[in-house]
């Protein structure tokens, strides 16, 4: 096998001799490129990335707190609207109660008046009826007296007697009165 | 070392960690400025960060899309971690910590692509990350607190007789921090990838191939977990160290 000429004693035939980590020939190279890498990452982070991310985070928390405040505001408005609605409802209910109360009072008054009038008419009617009944009764008594006199005269004549009108009248009157 | 016979067991689990120039021959020298496979995979990590965090948040949506959600999630995750662990005054280090987190996370995950290279498996890389944190934290500690930062090592809640001993222990543990911080990451990633390679090597032997493939699948799943966890651990330890620097009093 051709031995490739190596610039370092750390590699023999393409294989590592001992730990490559301890090969001093490579330290300077690694340290140099590491510093370049770190500086590159540091500048990318501090110039671009960190300001950007912290701005985004700040903006986000600002937006969130704004939204929360807006939500709080809307909630307050909703509560106010609810209160207004409840008040309007209570007012309307009171108004309705008042109106129905008035209507009831008016109806009651009308009803009382109608009843009173009806009572009056009934009283008038019944008084008139009583009067008529009294007249009828009086008429009836007179008729009974008349009929009784006639019947009495007829009975007396049928018995063959002579009917004295005056005596019969007196007797019937006495009998009717005796009742 | 036995000669590789019958095309059989000759796995080289460490070969995957070799650094080679991306362009040119494998044997070419690697100078400090050479563009290597490590460079390539680090660049992919940068591109992934750009894709997720720059392109993904392009919409700047108040209601985020899918990619933007992921970006915001990662941002929120690390931001909260820094704030919770190290305190509010640590937030000016958040870009630095987030950079570390994202680099490690993306380097770890991209290294799970088969035939890829894992930059975070190299102690050179993680040591720079770890010692970077160590020096940052130490300097911040002294700048913020002056000599008062040394009270970190003086455990005022312990009995007076114990305090000097504890101080010695505290100092040792303080200086061991960057070592454990960096070796933990490199060690985890290196070990995981080496084990994957070993299991994969056994797949060449027919008798144990099914077992080895099962093993690869299982270890791969574990490595996905380890990738995320190591990025998390590195970041949270950075936050803990930063807390010590900002508030050194026990």
Q: Chain A residues with CB inside 8 Å of B128's CB?
A: 31, 34-35
Distance CA A110, CA B130 (A): 107
A81-128 pLDDT, tens digit per residue, is 999 999 999 999 999 999 999 999 999 999 999 999 999 999 999 999
Mean pLDDT value of segment A153-162: 82
SS3 A11: strand
Asked whether residue A4 carries a pLDDT value surpassing 60, the answer given is: no
Mean residue pLDDT across chain B? 89
Confidence of residue A6 (pLDDT cuts 50, 70, 90): low
Q: Chain A residues with CB inside 8 Å of B29's CB?
A: 7-8
Neighbours of B135 (CB within 10 A): 11
Residue of A nearest to B95 (CA): A46
Secondary structure (H, E, C), chain B: CCCCCCCCCCCCCCHHHCCCECCCCCCCCCCCCCCEHHHHHHHHHHHHHHHHHHHCCCCCCCCCCHHHHHHHHHHHHHHHHHHHHHCHHHHHHHHHHHHHHHHHHHHHHHCCCCCCCCHHHCHHHHHHHHHHHHHHHHHHHHHHHHHHHHHHHCCCCCCCCCHHHHHHHHHHHHHHHHHHHHHHHHHHHHHHHHHHHHHHHHCCCHHHHHHHHHHHHHHHHHHHHHHHHHHHHHHHHHHHHHHHHHCCCC
SS3 A13: coil
Taking an 8 Å cut-off on Cβ atoms, the answer to whether B53 and A44 are in contact is yes
Residue A177: per-residue pLDDT: 74
Residue count of chain A, please give it: 179
Distance CA B190, CA B180 (A): 15
Confidence of residue B44 (pLDDT cuts 50, 70, 90): very high
Closest Cβ–Cβ partner in A19, A49, A50 for B14: A19
Asked whether residue A7 carries a pLDDT value surpassing 80, the answer given is: no
Contacts 24+ apart (CB under 8 A), A52-55: A52/B57, A52/B60, A53/B53, A53/B57, A53/B71, A53/B72, A53/B75, A55/B60
Q: Are residues B165 and B216 in contact, defined by beta-carbon separation less than 8 angstroms?
A: no
Residue B7: per-residue pLDDT: 47
Q: What is the pTM of this model?
A: 0.74
Closest Cβ–Cβ partner in B46, B61, B95 for A46: B95
Helix, strand, coil in percent for chain A, rounding step 5: 85, 0, 15
Taking an 8 Å cut-off on Cβ atoms, the answer to whether B18 and A46 are in contact is no
Residue B21: strand pairing partners: B36
Q: Look at the block and give the residue holding tokens 């640590």.
A: B90
Q: Are residues B62 and A59 in contact, defined by beta-carbon separation less than 8 angstroms?
A: yes
Q: Chain A residues with CB inside 8 Å of B68's CB?
A: 56
Task: Give ipTM to 2 decimals.
Answer: 0.89
Mean pLDDT value of segment B9-38: 82
């Amino acid at each position: 096998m051709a031995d490739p000429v190596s610039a370092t004693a750390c590699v023999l035939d393409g294989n590592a001799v001992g730990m490559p980590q301890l090969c001093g020939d490579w330290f300077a190279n690694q340290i140099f490129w590491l510093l370049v890498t770190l500086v590159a990452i540091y500048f990318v982070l501090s110039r671009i990335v960190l300001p950007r991310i912290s701005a985004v985070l700040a903006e986000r928390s600002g937006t969130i707190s704004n939204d929360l405040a807006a939500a709080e505001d809307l909630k307050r408005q909703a509560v106010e609207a609810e209160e207004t609605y409840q008040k309007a409802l209570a007012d309307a209910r009171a108004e309705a109660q008042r109106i129905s109360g008035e209507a009831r009072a008016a109806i009651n008054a009308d009803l009382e008046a109608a009843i009173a009038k009806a009572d009056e008419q009934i009283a008038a009617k019944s008084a008139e009826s009583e009067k008529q009944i009294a007249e009828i009764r009086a008429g009836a008594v007179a008729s009974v007296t008349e009929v009784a006199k006639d019947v009495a005269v007829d009975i007396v004549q049928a018995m063959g007697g002579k009917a004295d009108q005056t005596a019969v009248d007196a007797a019937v009157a006495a009998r009717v009165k005796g009742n | 070392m036995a000669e590789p016979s019958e095309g059989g067991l000759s796995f080289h689990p460490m070969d995957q960690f070799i650094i080679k120039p991306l362009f040119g021959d494998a044997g070419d020298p690697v100078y400090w400025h050479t563009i290597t496979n490590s460079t390539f995979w680090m660049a992919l990590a940068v591109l992934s960060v750009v894709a997720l965090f720059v392109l993904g948040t392009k919409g700047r949506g108040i209601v985020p899309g899918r990619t933007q959600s992921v970006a915001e999630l990662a941002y929120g995750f690390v931001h909260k971690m820094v704030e919770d662990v190290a305190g509010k005054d640590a937030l000016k280090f958040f870009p630095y910590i987030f950079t570390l987190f994202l680099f490690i996370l993306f380097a770890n995950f991209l290294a799970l692509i088969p035939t890829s290279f894992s930059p975070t498996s190299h102690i050179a890389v993680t040591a720079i990350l770890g010692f970077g944190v160590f020096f940052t934290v130490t300097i911040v500690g002294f700048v913020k607190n002056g000599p008062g930062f040394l009270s970190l090592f003086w455990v005022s809640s312990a009995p007076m007789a114990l305090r000097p001993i504890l101080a010695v222990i505290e100092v040792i543990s303080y200086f061991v921090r960057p070592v454990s911080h960096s070796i933990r990451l490199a060690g985890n990633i290196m070990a995981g990838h080496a084990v994957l390679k070993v299991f994969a090597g056994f797949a060449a032997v027919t008798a144990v191939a099914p077992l080895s493939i099962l093993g690869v699948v299982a270890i791969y799943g574990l490595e996905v977990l380890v990738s995320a966890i190591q990025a998390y651990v590195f970041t949270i330890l950075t936050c803990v160290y930063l807390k010590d620097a900002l508030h050194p009093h026990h």
